[in-house]
Every structure is written in structure tokens, then in C-alpha cells.
Chain A
Amino acid sequence: MNSLERIMAAVTGNDADYQPFTMLLSLYGSSLIKCDTVKYYQNPNLWFEGQKAVVETFDPDILISPFSFALEAEAFGCELAFLEKYAPNNKKPIITDLSQIEDLKLPEMDSPGIQYFLEATSLLSGFAKGTKAIASPIHSPCDIPALLMGLESWIDTLLFQPKYVESLLEKTMEHFVRLGNEFLVKGATFLIVPVNFTNPLMITENILKKLLPYLEKAFSQIKGPIVVHNGGCILQPFLKYFAKLPNVIAFVLDPREKFEEARQIIGNEMVLMGNFDGPGFARLSPDVAKNICLKILDNRKSDKHFIFATANADIPYETSVETIKAVVDTIRNYRKY
């Protein structure tokens, strides 16, 4: 059984040879090849070398194309702050006045920032040759505004400026659909859509209800499956809404969330993923990491629609290889089926 077949078994609820898993090792590839992170996040070939090292070292079932939302925002014109041993951050919002929304230009698919993502996805897809699932992270159309104008300004706009919400989301939806479908053309098996700013820790249920029609419209135009990712926050109070969105097949849960509760909300057919804290990896010894992993595996032993995954952001650059390997070995040696 190859990795893709293992993942498809989880989607269809069939037995696999072992528990399928993935980890967010986008940044960690640069650690494995001892590469300057500034160059790594600018050169898709370097990024690809890092991911080949990830496959050689850990062999996850799902490979994840570049995870850097700051780079996606850069394609809109945001300035980046590059950091040693970290993924880049956005420096300043580009929308400082609502009147600027009208003139906001969407990134072209052949612009350097977008090409970084697409070329990296192509390289990954060519390398995997259909034997592994490839997931492409992409910003939700309802999250991009927070990057472009700052979170508080976006919340203010959502609360008090409905006209501007509509005009901005019309643009971000168009970008989401174009880039999302382009990822699929380049070989992505599915999209991962984190909801960093569209979750119960950021917005109220009333605000979410206003955003749902935009999410429905955008998701329905994607020509492939979508995984909703926790984005560093809990999902459960909003799960019932996300579960009804078109093309959504799976959720990555926060480490604080309980799979049993999520199952009660979404039923037994959709895929649950999670919920090992990715950024927390660096603080763990191999033994502690193994025990956390075992608890998750034991909890999901009878759940055939489960994929072990790290939640939240990237596994940190300085995490020891031994700690990650301890988790990978625990998964491979676990007798689930």
C-alpha cells in the first residue's frame, strides 16, 4: 500500500496497512538541508530540496506544499520581514484606509510570489508521482482581509462597514478560486484552508453567519476536496457550519479539542485529523512526544476516518530529528488495523 492509497483508505473508511499520518514540516525542510530560511522561502528549488529531505527522513503520507501565508500576502503587495530559522512574517498592512479596497489589485498567477507556490507544488507532484497525497495550504477568502488590513481593522470592518466587507470579499474570493484551482492543476490532491481569523477565538457566531455565504460560494468553485485546518485556534463551536460547506471532507483539530465531541457534531463519515501540537514539538523529549502520540492513536484506534497530523503552525526549525522520528516510529509500529 502506498501513501496515497493509505490516505484514500482514511477518506473511504477502509483498513490500511498502518495509521496514515502527516506533519507540517514545511519550515523544517530548511533545517534538514541546513539552508538559509530567507533563500528557502524565495527559491522553490531549495524548498523542494528541503522537502525531499523530509521524505527521506520521515516519509509522511501527505506532502504539504509551501506553508507561508505571508508569501501569499506579499503577492498582494504586503512587505515581508524575513527571519532566521522562521517562516517570514508580514511587516505592515497594505490597506490602511477602506477607500483603498476599490483599487486593490489581485496577484497574477504568473507573479513571482504565486509562482513560488505553484512551482514548488509542481516539483512535489513530479517527485511523488501519484504515490503520495499532496496538500496545498491556501488562505481562506475570509482570512486574507485580516492580512491585508490588520486583524483589528478587519474586525471593525466586519462589525460596522458591511459595504466594504462585500467589495473586499468579492476580490479575495476570486483570488482564492483562481489560486486554489491552479494548485489542483499543478498536482495538489486537496487544499488545506486554515481558518486563522475565521474561528470562535477571533469572531462571533453572528459574524461567521455573515461570512458563510462567501465561503460557500468560493468553496463551491474549487475543483477538488478541501480540508479545514484549525489555524492555531479551536474549531468546534463553528464545526457544524464548516461541515456543510461545499467540498469540505476533513478537519484538522486543535490539540485542545476532543475528537469524540467533534464526531458528535460532524458524524462518522468525514475525516478527522490532528491533533499533535506542531510548534510544541521543540520542547519535547522523544519519550514525551511518543507518549502524546500514543494517547492520540489510542483515542482514535477504532476511527478509520482518522489521519494523524500535527495541528497549528510549522514544527520549529530547532526541533531534534530524534523527537520527530520517535513520533513517526510510534505511528508506524502502532497496531491499529
Chain B
Amino acid sequence: MDKLENQRILASLIGEGEKDKSVDLLLEWASQSSFKEVIFNILEPLLVQWGKLWMQGKLSLAHGYLSGKVAEEFYLIASKNEEFMNSKAKNKGTIILGNIEDDFHPLGRRLVNIFATAAGWNIIDLGNDVPAEIFVEKAVENQAKIIAVSAMMFTTAKNILKIRTEIDRIFLSDKIKLAVGGAVFKLRPELVEEIGGDGTADNAIEAPALFDSLLLKCKG
């Protein structure tokens, strides 16, 4: 398997908007090698490369959306493959993920889900427009040590403060860390502290490293 050539072929297909053909091709390659081989040598390197190009303004959000859809569909199929599931990285713990109340911009969250899952985290994705108390309730219920919240705009980012307040109210600040992300935090980095975040990442690719560092800060 020529990894670079296959990455190029996949990039071209996704760039043309061919989601179904891209997933079919990944499945064909997986049948010739393995899901693990395809994910770690073709799909993820391409997602990382595209993430960097997007950050540099060289690819569009639509490219990111398409590649995320392809990855989502392929991961879903891979998750039913026993050999792949056995070969995955050791489970690092559970993260409660979602877009805060009134936020309806799922792309970043979905990419975080993909990269964090690949890095060995168990992700419970609550979706869009999630009230603060649900994040905390689910974290307690699933013994999650990290709540990861996405917001795109200033108005919705302010709602994250309610999660901070709720975590503090039940005295779990040492045991549950609050990761925040989204476009508004790049524009206004001071907002991370203002809304009580324990940390942020510039993009979905860097989210697993943030989660690793926050895990080290958890007590108990």
C-alpha cells in the first residue's frame, strides 16, 4: 500500500465532494489490509494535513466538513470490526462532549470526537444546544474527568460559565476539568479564563493533547 499515493487519491475524491466513493474506497483498502492500517496510515494523516491547511486558510470549511463526514462514516463501520477495536489505543477515560446551550455549530465538535476517539478516549457526544446542567449530570453519571464544550460565538460562549458554576457548586473542580473550544476562543483568548475554562486547543487536532494535560491535573 503506497500511503502517500492513497492519501492523494482520497484527498482528490473528497475535494470533488465524493463522500460515498471515498468511504467505499477506504473500505476497499481496509479489505486489502486492515481498518487499523487504513485509519492510521491514510485517513488520519490526511485529516491532520487538511486541518493544518485549513488553519492556514488554504482549504475551506466545506473540505473540513466533507472529510469529517467521510471519517465519521468510516469510523462507524470500523467500530463494528472486532480486530480494529482490539487494536485501538488503551482507553484513557471518558469525555463528555457537546455544543453549549444555544450553539448550533457542530463541525468542530465532530472533528474533536474523531481525533479524541482515535487517541483512545471514550467520547460521549451530547450534540448541539446542550444545557449546562446536562453536561455535569452526564459527567457525574459516567465518571468522566473531562467536559469538553464547544461554542462558536461570544453570546453562546458565555453560557459555558454555567457549567463552571455547576462544577464548583458540587465541589468537583478537582475531579472534572473543563475544556473549551470554538472560533470565538481563537479571536478572544482571554475568554477561556473569563468563562472558567481549564484549557483550550486551537483546533480539533490538538484537542487530544489538551485532554491528556487536563487529565494529569485531575485529582482522585
Residues of A near any B CB (own CB < 8 A): 81, 83, 86, 89, 91-93, 150-153, 155-156, 158-160, 200-204, 206-207, 234, 256
Please tell me if the beta carbons of B105 and A204 are within 8 angstroms of each other in the complex: no
Please tell me if the beta carbons of B17 and A206 are within 8 angstroms of each other in the complex: yes
CB within 8 Å for A158 and B155 given contacts A151-B105, A234-B57? no
Cα-based distance from A81 to B19 in the complex (angstroms):
36
- Give every chain A residue within 8 A of B129 (Cβ-Cβ): 92
Please tell me if the beta carbons of A159 and B19 are within 8 angstroms of each other in the complex: yes
Of residues 36 to 66 in B, which have CB atoms within 8 Å of A's CB atoms? 57, 60-63, 65-66
**Does B106 touch A at the CB level, under 8 Å?**
yes
Q: List 5 A-B contacts (CB under 8 A).
A: A81-B102, A91-B155, A151-B61, A153-B104, A159-B65
**Does B191 touch A at the CB level, under 8 Å?**
no
- Tell me the minimal C-beta distance from B194 to chain A in angstroms: 14
Residues of B near any A CB (own CB < 8 A): 15-17, 19, 57, 60-63, 65-66, 102, 104-107, 129, 153-155
- Counting residue pairs across A and B whose Cβ atoms lie within 8 Å, the total is 58
Supplied contacts A200-B57, A202-B60, 8 more A-B pairs, CB within 8 Å: A86-B154, A92-B104, A150-B104, A158-B62, A159-B19, A201-B61, A202-B61, A202-B62
CB contact between A159 and one of B15, B62, B155 (< 8 Å): that residue: B62
Cα-based distance from A25 to B153 in the complex (angstroms):
21
Cα-based distance from A114 to B76 in the complex (angstroms):
46
- Give every chain B residue within 8 A of A155 (Cβ-Cβ): 61-62, 65
CB contact between A200 and one of B15, B16, B60, B107 (< 8 Å): that residue: B60
- Give every chain A residue within 8 A of B155 (Cβ-Cβ): 81, 83, 89, 91
- Give every chain A residue within 8 A of B19 (Cβ-Cβ): 159-160
Please tell me if the beta carbons of B60 and A204 are within 8 angstroms of each other in the complex: yes
Cα-based distance from A156 to B63 in the complex (angstroms):
11
Cα-based distance from A156 to B105 in the complex (angstroms):
12
Cα-based distance from A153 to B61 in the complex (angstroms):
12
Cα-based distance from A334 to B60 in the complex (angstroms):
38
Please tell me if the beta carbons of A203 and B60 are within 8 angstroms of each other in the complex: yes
CB within 8 Å for A203 and B102 given contacts A89-B153, A159-B17, A159-B19? no
Cα-based distance from A203 to B129 in the complex (angstroms):
25
- Tell me the minimal C-beta distance from B173 to chain A in angstroms: 28
The residue in A152, A201, A202 that gathers the most chain B C-beta atoms within 10 A of its C-beta is A152
- Give every chain A residue within 8 A of B61 (Cβ-Cβ): 151, 155, 201-203
CB contact between B15 and one of A92, A156, A160, A204 (< 8 Å): that residue: A204
- Give every chain A residue within 8 A of B102 (Cβ-Cβ): 81, 91-92
Please tell me if the beta carbons of B104 and A204 are within 8 angstroms of each other in the complex: no
CB within 8 Å for A152 and B105 given contacts A91-B155, A203-B61? yes
Pick the 5 closest A-B CB pairs, nearest first.
Answer: A81-B155, A150-B104, A89-B155, A203-B62, A152-B107
- Tell me the minimal C-beta distance from B21 to chain A in angstroms: 13
Cα-based distance from A256 to B57 in the complex (angstroms):
10
Cα-based distance from A4 to B18 in the complex (angstroms):
50
CB contact between B60 and one of A81, A152, A156, A201 (< 8 Å): that residue: A201
